[in-house]
Structure 1
Amino acid sequence: MFQISFYVPEIKLELVKNANPTIEHLDKLETIKEYKVEMICASNHLSSVISAMKSAHP
């Protein structure tokens, strides 16, 4: 079993499945409210879960 954690900006909370890593402008530091998402993943699903997360969030 593995624990996976990541942060989601409040304004993007409903769009986690189609993540876009920018909020307003590229290469600009921004401070925003975020939510931490945590999940437990069985070892036999870890590879596919990580692949799905990478494909959703470049």
Structure 2
Amino acid sequence: MSKTVEEPREKTLHELNMEQRAINQAIKEANKDDPLYSLPEPVRRAVAKRMQKPARAPIKVD
């Protein structure tokens, strides 16, 4: 009796989703101490984008 070798198959959508969920959870756990990640995602994206841009002028305090 010889064993048949299964050919590698493509992952199902469910398997891919579960892998992505695990990756997202790991990222969330790694960044839970970052105050930026306590914000909702759209706000977080806008704030992060703004933080990457250089300031145009110094802030004047009267």
Question: Which structure: larger Rg?
Answer: 2
Q: What TM-score, normalized by structure 1, do the two folds share? A: 0.26
In the superposition, the TM-score normalised over structure 2's length comes to: 0.25
More helix by share: 2
Compare relative contact order (CA 8 Å, sep 6+) and give the higher one, 1 or 2.
1
